[in-house]
Amino acid sequence: MKLSSYIGQVNQNYEQPSGVENSPALEQGLRNGMDAVLGKLPGQAVSGEVLYRNGNDILLSIGKNQLLQAKLEGNMQAMPGQLLAFQIKNNSGSKVVLSPLFENLSSDPNVSKALQAAGLPENSITAGMVKAMMQEGLPIDRQSLYQMNRLVNNNPFVNVQTLVQMQRLSIPITAENVFQFEAYKNCQHQIGESLSDIADAFSQTFKEITGSGNLQEGLSFYKNILGVLSDNSGESIRQTEDGTVQLKGENTGAVSKDALLPEGEQAVLSKEELSELAKQLRQSGMSGQITDAIANGKLGGKEILNEIEKALSDELIQDREVFFEALEGKAFKSLLKNEMGRQWMLQPEEVAKEHSVDKLYERLNTQMNRLSQVLSQASKGETPLSKVVSNVSSNIDFMNQLNQMFTYVQIPLKMQGKNANSELFVYTNKKSLAQKDGSVSALLHLDMENLGSVDVHVSLTNQKVSTKFYLADDSALDLIAQNIDVLNERLEKRGYSMNAEFINKDENTNVMEEMLKQGKNISVLSGYSFDARA
């Protein structure tokens, strides 16, 4: 059984199907369809929706403004609204021969039967909906189909498979959740990148606010933002009446300036950058004691930002234009970005500390909410900063919803030279967890600057650890293999024995796909979920 499409060259007249009105748009659509098919090679597939049928003549839509006029052969059935898929057998000359593919939705009698039993129309949308529900293991009884069809009709611009998958996972269908779900599926969900974007978006928003020349409004905006980053419970510095620098909260009184930065900790800026920043702040009216400590690298980034925020709050700025120049300078922007990274990312060694990830997300959630409040009070509508903050907040909320079913979390890492993003997904075995025995498996996905995409599959059974390292680069695999003894020794000290394999991979792992594979028979495990909003 074949479908043969007799379409001439672009400038050749086509046979007008009976009942279809001729129009320039139709002619152009047929030309576009011909170009699309001729641009493919034999063996490639083409799919389209049946728009019209008259006897053996049908009209297919194979893309935006791309039409295909065809003739049915044999006993092949095709109804308006039906989605058909074909393989190109021959597209040379003026004759295009297409052969139906097994994937045609109409080839599965269960699809038609289910729709007929539910009293729903059979078209490309409803057939695709039923097939997606079957693939995801959802029931296709009358009530389930009615509910899903209502969901599809209420969200006409959302991919049907996305709706079905979200429904199976019990994720509420909202615009924010749909955006995040598809971002996760397309590997565009990395929270670490969004956090890095905040500093740049902050600078852009500051320029928008001060674009009309309103320095006061811009400085007030800076004060509020720095207030979000300030930790009121942490140490801060003050200048005493006798001119010495004192740590706020210290009971021992004034301390030496040399003690302000912990021993061994290096200033985040170069000596030249610190000197330039201190000079501008001193000219704007800030205390000489404070600016000298900045210039000499005796204050950490957090303390410098705290002092700038206090100067704005206490209205100690004498020359606002000079102060504005300091805030727009490269040194201050580097300082701000570094402090955001310090607060919103974890050092690799911090990940092992108990509750470190929980505390990170508690801080993130709190500060994103406060940033949203500051931005709403600024009443500037949608700004670059508000977009990024909203995306981070939505990502955190979505991650929390994923954790109603999966044990999953992203861990933004602050590495030397460049930040990295990591994802941890535990293949949860409910029975093993309930009995407190059996094995536990997990996937750790890392995106590294030098190593590239790294996947580590870990399986733990009693005290035996099996690991598989997947990397795309052979030299990176060799590097890990050469240094695996370091990991072995550390695990042995904790009473574990490890077996490691090193495998070259061709494609990047999509953690969402891994979750979707596992999730079809997983129920809620609230006792083992990670709450990103804790």
193's enclosing H/E stretch is: helix 191-210
Tens of pLDDT, residue by residue over 289-344, are 888 998 888 888 888 888 888 888 777 778 888 888 888 888 888 888 888 888 88
Q: Give the pLDDT of residue 72.
A: 64
Measure the CA–CA gap between 331 and 344, rounded to whole angstroms.
20
- Report DSSP letters for 351-402, one per residue: TTSTTHHHHHHHHHHHHHHHHHHHHHHHT--S-HHHHHHHHHHHHHHHHHHH
Contact (Cβ atoms closer than 8 angstroms) between residue 477 and residue 504: yes
Give the per-residue SS3 of 6-50. ECCCCCCCCCCCCCCCCCHHHHHHHHHHHHHHHCCCCCCEEEEEE
Residue 249 CB neighbour total at 10 angstroms: 12
- Report DSSP letters for 447-486, one per residue: EETTTEEEEEEEEEETTEEEEEEEES-HHHHHHHHHTHHH
Sequence-ordered list of residues with C-beta below 8 angstroms from that of 44, at least 6 positions apart, any chain: 87, 88
Q: Give the pLDDT of residue 107.
A: 53
Q: Give the pLDDT of residue 231.
A: 58
Tens of pLDDT, residue by residue over 230-251, are 754 333 434 444 443 343 433 3
DSSP state, 437?
A: -
Beta bridge partners of 98: 3, 88
Measure the CA–CA gap between 20 and 163, rounded to whole angstroms.
35
> Where does the pLDDT of residue 16 fall: very low under 50, low under 70, confident under 90, or very high at 90 and above?
very low
Q: Give the pLDDT of residue 185.
A: 86
The whole-number average pLDDT for the span 492-512 is 83
- Residue 522, pLDDT > 50, answer no
> Where does the pLDDT of residue 262 fall: very low under 50, low under 70, confident under 90, or very high at 90 and above?
very low
Q: Give the pLDDT of residue 123.
A: 81
> Where does the pLDDT of residue 380 fall: very low under 50, low under 70, confident under 90, or very high at 90 and above?
low
68's enclosing H/E stretch is: strand 66-72
DSSP state, 265?
A: P
Measure the CA–CA gap between 412 and 192, rounded to whole angstroms.
5
Q: Give the pLDDT of residue 519.
A: 56
Short-list 339, 330, 239, 328, CA closest to 292: 239
Comparing 3-17, 56-70, 313-327, the range with the smallest average pLDDT is 3-17
Higher pLDDT residue, 270 or 236? Answer: 270
Tens of pLDDT, residue by residue over 129-166, are 998 888 888 888 899 999 999 999 999 999 999 999 99
Measure the CA–CA gap between 144 and 147, rounded to whole angstroms.
5
Question: Of all residues in the chain, what percent carry a pLDDT higher than 90?
Answer: 11
Contact (Cβ atoms closer than 8 angstroms) between residue 75 and residue 112: no
Q: Give the pLDDT of residue 393.
A: 92
Residue 39 CB neighbour total at 10 angstroms: 9
For tokens 């009942």, name the residue: 19
Q: Kindly report the pTM of this predicted structure.
A: 0.67
- Residue 73, pLDDT > 60, answer no
And the tokens for 106? 């109409």
Higher pLDDT residue, 396 or 249? Answer: 396
124's enclosing H/E stretch is: helix 124-135
Beta bridge partners of 498: 465
- Residue 263, pLDDT > 50, answer no
> Where does the pLDDT of residue 76 fall: very low under 50, low under 70, confident under 90, or very high at 90 and above?
low
Beta bridge partners of 97: 4, 90
- Residue 413, pLDDT > 70, answer yes
Question: Of all residues in the chain, what percent carry a pLDDT higher than 70?
Answer: 76
Q: Give the pLDDT of residue 155.
A: 94
> Where does the pLDDT of residue 180 fall: very low under 50, low under 70, confident under 90, or very high at 90 and above?
very high
Average pLDDT taken over every residue of the chain: 76
Tens of pLDDT, residue by residue over 84-139, are 777 776 766 556 666 665 445 445 677 888 888 899 988 878 888 998 888 888 88
The whole-number average pLDDT for the span 64-76 is 71
Comparing 109-118, 130-139, 421-430, 445-454, the range with the smallest average pLDDT is 421-430
At residue 77, what are phi and psi to the nearest 5 degrees? -100, 140
Tens of pLDDT, residue by residue over 33-58, are 888 888 777 767 777 788 888 877 77
> Where does the pLDDT of residue 228 fall: very low under 50, low under 70, confident under 90, or very high at 90 and above?
confident
And the tokens for 532? 């990103």
Contact (Cβ atoms closer than 8 angstroms) between residue 194 and residue 392: yes
The whole-number average pLDDT for the span 12-18 is 40
